[in-house]
């Protein structure tokens, strides 16, 4: 079963935004056993959109379209689809009500442009977009399925997860697919490969193992395809357990979750609390943690101590330490972690101080120099990382390294 993704909108073609939607959608489709044949980004131009539709329907069974559904003149996806399928328009009352409700809730007056969001091509099935005013439209035409979704990522994601994927599973006879992901940290990809080589060599052809490395963490994904769902499930699980047993000290989760979610789950189970003291990561670790529902059971809060003044007043770092060793030093980060643990009254505290760049480096402490400390009831451990010269990457790598360090301490603490 083949799918294609068509992204509509000039903002991708002029390079203003990176198309992250398509990769996400491709991943979801692959998970249900639907291969993506092509991803095309085309302009807000009717003739061009129609050409893309014609070509996609020759190659694929399902065509997923994102973008071009806004209320303004430059958004022409809906009009173009109606023209392509030779349909008139009808007003969808449920959508009108939904749009009206949204405007009422936001306490904003509604204008004709907004009402037009409820006008849809005759023969499409409207799927309610919980998170926005543009409705999602499902077409069954030319013997294929077409779905038009808004390009706003969270609107599209919600629709894909809650509506489109379940409907596609129903519409097609898809083979059983079972994925099992093992999240590892504190070990590199090639070391991991050597460790589990003998298990990998025994895998039958219908079970594949993928290494998905990303910034200091490696996900191992076993994917099995078959006809008997239950049998397949058992078979994949049995290989997964062999792998988990072999590399147990690097396994942080037996499911496809984020590293910080694995951390939250472990700490919650053990009723431990956590606080953060961030300098160069600037709140990114706190953000990673608090994006997860229920994080407040573990995470009490923290300080984003960008200035030296705040390192002193919020965390109790000594002025002499900052003067003698500098803000980016083992001594400072150690006091930051200990201070956070004490002042925020938590079982664990993590602190990060570094030079994210692009400026601020010196010969002794070049851009990318990052100190991390983790404090718990037993000790404060520190680690020096030397990353590269890209600010965003340094922030992300520091955060991942900090989370991995806490996970490592949790394991020590358990032993």
Task: Enumerate residues 103-122 that contact a second copy by CB under 8 A.
Answer: 105-106, 108, 111, 113-114
Q: Which residues contact 23 (CB under 8 A, 6 or more apart)?
A: none
Q: Decide if residue 35 touches a second copy (CB under 8 A).
A: yes
Return d(Cα 83, Cα 71) in angstroms, integer. Answer: 18
Q: Decide if residue 265 touches a second copy (CB under 8 A).
A: no
Task: Enumerate residues 138-177 that contact a second copy by CB under 8 A.
Answer: 152, 154, 158
- Name the phi and psi angles at 11, rounded to 5: -60, -25
Do residues 128 and 95 lie in contact, with contact meaning Cβ atoms separated by under 8 Å? yes
How near is the Cβ of 14 to a second copy at its closest, in Å? 5
Q: What is the secondary structure of 357-375 as a DSSP string?
A: SSS---SSS-TTEEEEEEE
Q: Decide if residue 225 touches a second copy (CB under 8 A).
A: no
Identify which range of 162-170, 238-246, 279-287, 403-411 contacts a second copy by CB under 8 A: 279-287
Do residues 64 and 25 lie in contact, with contact meaning Cβ atoms separated by under 8 Å? yes
Do residues 64 and 41 lie in contact, with contact meaning Cβ atoms separated by under 8 Å? no
DSSP state of 124: P
Q: Decide if residue 268 touches a second copy (CB under 8 A).
A: no
The 3-state DSSP class for residue 415 equals: coil
Query: Quick one: 226 or 357, whose CB is closer to a second copy?
Result: 357
Tell which one of 1, 24, 167, 233 touches a second copy (CB under 8 A).
24
Do residues 89 and 122 lie in contact, with contact meaning Cβ atoms separated by under 8 Å? yes
Tell which one of 250, 344, 348, 371 touches a second copy (CB under 8 A).
344
Task: Enumerate residues 40-79 that contact a second copy by CB under 8 A.
Answer: 40-43, 48, 52, 55, 70-74
Q: Decide if residue 241 touches a second copy (CB under 8 A).
A: no
Q: Decide if residue 392 touches a second copy (CB under 8 A).
A: yes
Peptide bond into 358 cis (omega under 30): yes
Q: Decide if residue 204 touches a second copy (CB under 8 A).
A: no
User: Which residues face 6 on adjacent strands?
Assistant: 40, 65
Tell which one of 88, 143, 293, 415 touches a second copy (CB under 8 A).
293
Tokens 């990998």 belong to which residue? 200
Q: Decide if residue 300 touches a second copy (CB under 8 A).
A: yes
Return d(Cα 335, Cα 342) in angstroms, integer. Answer: 10
Neighbours of 319 (CB within 10 A): 11
User: Which residues face 93 on adjacent strands?
Assistant: none
Tell which one of 80, 95, 276, 369 touches a second copy (CB under 8 A).
276
How near is the Cβ of 277 to a second copy at its closest, in Å? 10
Tell which one of 169, 214, 230, 270 touches a second copy (CB under 8 A).
214
Query: Quick one: 10 or 237, whose CB is closer to a second copy?
Result: 10
Q: Which residues contact 396 (CB under 8 A, 6 or more apart)?
A: 215, 284
How near is the Cβ of 415 to a second copy at its closest, in Å? 25
How near is the Cβ of 405 to a second copy at its closest, in Å? 16
Query: Quick one: 31 or 122, whose CB is closer to a second copy?
Result: 31
Site residue total, a second copy (CB under 8 A):
110
Helix (H) or strand (E) holding 62: strand 62-66
Q: Which residues contact 375 (CB under 8 A, 6 or more apart)?
A: 337, 338, 340, 341, 348, 349, 350, 351
Identify which range of 82-90, 232-240, 291-299, 330-338 contacts a second copy by CB under 8 A: 291-299
Query: Quick one: 379 or 388, whose CB is closer to a second copy?
Result: 388
Tell which one of 99, 251, 314, 410 touches a second copy (CB under 8 A).
314
Q: Decide if residue 39 touches a second copy (CB under 8 A).
A: yes
Q: Decide if residue 37 touches a second copy (CB under 8 A).
A: yes
Do residues 275 and 302 lie in contact, with contact meaning Cβ atoms separated by under 8 Å? yes
The two three-digit tokens of residue 193, written as one number: 């490969």
Q: Decide if residue 186 touches a second copy (CB under 8 A).
A: no
Identify which range of 92-100, 234-242, 273-281, 330-338 contacts a second copy by CB under 8 A: 273-281
How near is the Cβ of 92 to a second copy at its closest, in Å? 19
Rg (CA), the chain: 26
Identify which range of 87-95, 140-148, 204-212, 374-382 contacts a second copy by CB under 8 A: 204-212
């Amino acid at each position: 079963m083949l799918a294609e993704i068509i992204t509509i909108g000039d903002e991708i073609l002029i390079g203003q935004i990176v198309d992250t939607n398509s990769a996400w959608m491709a991943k979801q489709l692959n998970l249900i056993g639907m291969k993506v044949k092509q991803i095309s980004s085309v302009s807000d131009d009717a003739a061009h959109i129609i050409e893309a539709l014609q070509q996609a329907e020759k190659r694929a069974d399902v065509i997923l379209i994102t973008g071009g559904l806004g209320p303004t003149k430059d958004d022409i996806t809906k009009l173009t689809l109606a023209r392509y399928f030779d349909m008139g328009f009808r007003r969808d009352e449920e959508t009108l009500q939904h749009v009206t409700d949204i405007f009422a809730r936001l306490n904003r007056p509604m204008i004709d442009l907004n009402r037009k969001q409820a006008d849809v091509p005759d023969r499409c099935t409207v799927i309610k977009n919980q998170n926005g005013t543009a409705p999602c439209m499902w077409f069954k035409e030319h013997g294929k399925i077409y779905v038009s979704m808004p390009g706003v990522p969270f609107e599209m994601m919600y629709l894909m997860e809650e509506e489109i994927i379940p409907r596609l599973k129903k519409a097609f006879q898809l083979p059983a697919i079972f994925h099992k992901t093992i999240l590892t940290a504190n070990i590199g990809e090639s070391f991991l490969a050597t460790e589990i080589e003998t298990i990998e060599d025994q895998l039958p052809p219908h079970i594949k193992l993928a290494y998905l490395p990303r910034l200091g963490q490696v996900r191992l994904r076993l994917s099995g395809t078959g006809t008997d769902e239950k049998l397949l499930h058992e078979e994949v699980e049995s290989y997964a357990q062999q792998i988990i047993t072999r590399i147990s000290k690097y396994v942080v989760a037996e499911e496809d979750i984020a590293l910080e979610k694995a951390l939250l789950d472990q700490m919650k189970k053990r009723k431990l609390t956590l606080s953060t003291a961030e300098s160069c990561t600037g709140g990114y670790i706190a953000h990673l943690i608090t994006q997860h529902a229920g994080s407040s059971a573990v995470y009490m809060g923290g300080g984003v101590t960008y200035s030296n003044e705040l390192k002193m007043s919020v965390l109790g770092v000594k002025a002499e330490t900052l003067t003698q060793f500098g803000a980016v030093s083992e001594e400072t980060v150690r006091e930051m972690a200990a201070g956070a643990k004490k002042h925020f009254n938590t079982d664990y505290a993590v602190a990060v101080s570094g030079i994210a760049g692009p400026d601020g480096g010196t010969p002794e402490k070049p851009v990318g120099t990052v100190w991390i400390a983790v404090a718990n009831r037993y000790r404060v451990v520190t680690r020096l990382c030397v990353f590269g010269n890209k600010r965003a990457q340094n922030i992300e790598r520091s955060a991942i390294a900090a989370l991995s360090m806490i996970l490592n301490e949790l394991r020590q603490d358990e032993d």
